[in-house]
């Protein structure tokens, strides 16, 4: 019991003991036998195991690296200081600019003229539209009227911002002339939305971004890109298809690009806007900006994430440490865990799998990975989710798969313990 004070805190342990002792008293008062001290201790430990924090830690065995339900990109370790120079200039000893350190890093890393950070990408788009397009028209291709899941629907968000959506083209094909014909005095901007979570193939076309930028120049209408994923490194190096990075998008001359902080940037939840001072200036002045501002913990994590990329050390960011782990290393770790499980009589296979980046980043594309295949179905998956730490898995045919692509090597030991506890009940 003393050992569990470390893990659960003395108060929780005391409360569990009191509750078990009072249960036992009641039992004795009703004429029952007094439980043995061993039984009391067992019950206390059970109670403690059942008590979980509001957001329990999870080992991600799903093979989806950016899992929206598990917090998207894994977060950098490290604690927020109690007090920090958040809006304080330590040199001058007076009030400083809250976003200055982030804006400086974003501009350097992405080569952008101006930058702004809000609470998430939906907020970024909302602020952009509210500041530039309230009561005016925004032109969007019918092939890009996206729903991201968890209630982000482009047409609805646009309506809420006060912008009027003007749809052009068809689901599969939109031409430059479609945009051309839609532009008039009421047009506030052309919005391009990235097809983050689906893929269109076959008889499809849409104008190149450069053509839209050109049209925007000719007509004096800005071009905005809801890029979404925040792709900033060449994905080709991880065996995925190259897609235009945020830097490459900016180089086409678009007015603004916006994306999430917790997808391919590998940072905390945030909405990042980059572009010209002309595009971002009105957002900075807008009263909604204050309503959408990110918490200090986000700014601290974002600065540290950007510092890693600026230093050319993407592997210091947890998502890129996972992405940079080679499949044969995953296989080696899977075999080692399997040996430990077999030594306890558990039957387990090591199988090659395909993992996914997830989070609406690279739909239809997978990465080579390795998993532990455990004979069992929903009941085993449920036991694993109930363990401490909880292990979230993928179920396939008659197996529960624990894919190692999103498991950090330092979690292997606690993963093994959790698997043993679920597979050999009573022997932990
Ligand atoms: C993910 C995504 C969003 C929503 O971003 P949040 O940060 O979840 O608000 C919006 N647009 C695109 C294209 C996306 O990929």
Nearest residue CA, atom 3 of ligand 1?
Answer: 228
| Share of residues in the chain with pLDDT > 70 (%) | 99
How far apart are the CA of 58 and the centre of ligand 1, in A?
24
Whole-model pTM over 0.75 = yes
Q: Which of 228, 246, 261, 263 to mutate to test the pocket of ligand 1 (most atoms within 8 A of CB)?
A: 228
Three-state secondary structure string covering 206-228: CCCHHHHHHHHHHHCCCEEEEEE
Ligand 1 pocket check for 121: Cβ under 6 Å: yes
How far apart are the CA of 192 and the centre of ligand 1, in A?
13
How far apart are the CA of 259 and the centre of ligand 1, in A?
7
Q: Is the pLDDT of residue 148 over 90?
A: no
Which pLDDT belongs to residue 90?
A: 94
Q: Each residue of 273-303: pLDDT tens digit?
A: 999 999 999 999 999 999 999 999 999 999 9
Which pLDDT belongs to residue 11?
A: 85
Ligand 1 pocket check for 353: Cβ under 6 Å: no
Nearest residue CA, atom 2 of ligand 1?
Answer: 228
Which pLDDT belongs to residue 48?
A: 83
Q: Each residue of 33-89: pLDDT tens digit?
A: 999 999 999 888 888 877 778 888 999 999 999 999 999 999 987 778 899 999 999
Ligand 1 pocket check for 119: Cβ under 6 Å: no
Distance of CA 187 to the CA centre of its chain: 34
**Residue 180 token pair:** 């051309």
Q: Which residues of 361-376 are buried (b: 16+ CB within 10 A; e: fewer)?
A: bbeebebebbbbbbeb
Nearest residue CA, atom 1 of ligand 1?
Answer: 228
Q: Each residue of 366-419: pLDDT tens digit?
A: 999 999 999 999 999 999 998 878 999 999 888 999 999 999 999 999 999 999
**Residue 413 token pair:** 């030991």
């Amino acid at each position: 019991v003393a050992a569990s004070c470390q893990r659960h805190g003395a108060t929780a342990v005391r409360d569990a003991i009191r509750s078990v002792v009072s249960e036992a008293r009641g039992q004795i008062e009703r004429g029952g036998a007094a439980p043995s001290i061993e039984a009391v201790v067992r019950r206390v430990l059970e109670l403690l195991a059942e008590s979980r924090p509001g957001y329990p830690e999870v080992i991600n065995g799903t093979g989806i690296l950016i899992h929206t339900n598990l917090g998207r990109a894994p977060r950098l370790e490290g604690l927020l200081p109690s007090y920090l120079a958040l809006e304080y200039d330590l040199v001058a000893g007076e009030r400083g600019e809250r976003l200055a350190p982030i804006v400086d890093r974003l501009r350097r890393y992405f080569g952008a003229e101006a930058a702004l950070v809000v609470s998430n990408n939906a907020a970024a788009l909302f602020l952009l539209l509210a500041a530039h397009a309230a009561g005016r028209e925004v032109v969007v291709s019918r092939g890009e009227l996206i729903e991201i899941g968890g209630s982000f629907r482009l047409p609805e968000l646009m309506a809420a911002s006060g912008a009027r959506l003007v749809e052009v083209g068809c689901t599969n094909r939109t031409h430059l002339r479609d945009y051309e014909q839609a532009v008039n005095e009421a047009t506030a901007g052309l919005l391009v939305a990235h097809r983050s979570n689906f893929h269109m193939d076959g008889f499809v076309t849409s104008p190149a971004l450069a053509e839209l930028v050109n049209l925007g120049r000719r007509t004096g209408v800005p071009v905005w890109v809801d890029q979404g994923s925040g792709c900033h490194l060449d994905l080709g190096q991880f065996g995925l298809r190259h897609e235009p990075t945020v830097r490459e998008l900016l180089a086409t001359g678009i007015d603004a690009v916006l994306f999430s902080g917790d997808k391919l940037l590998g940072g905390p939840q945030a909405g990042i806007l980059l572009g010209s001072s002309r595009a971002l200036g009105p957002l900075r002045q807008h009263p909604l900006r204050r309503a959408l501002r990110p918490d200090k913990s986000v700014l601290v994590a974002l600065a540290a994430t950007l510092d890693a990329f600026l230093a050319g050390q993407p592997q210091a960011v947890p998502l890129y440490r996972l992405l940079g782990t080679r499949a044969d290393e995953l296989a080696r770790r899977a075999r080692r865990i399997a040996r430990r499980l077999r030594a306890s009589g558990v039957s387990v296979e090591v199988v090659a799998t395909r993992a996914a980046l997830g989070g609406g980043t690279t739909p239809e594309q997978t990465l080579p990975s390795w998993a532990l295949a455990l004979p069992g179905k929903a009941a085993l998956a449920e036991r694993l989710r109930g363990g401490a730490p909880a292990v979230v898995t993928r179920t396939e045919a008659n197996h529960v798969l624990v894919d190692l692509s999103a498991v950090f090597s330092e979690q292997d030991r606690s993963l093994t313990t959790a698997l043993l506890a679920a597979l050999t009940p009573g022997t932990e």
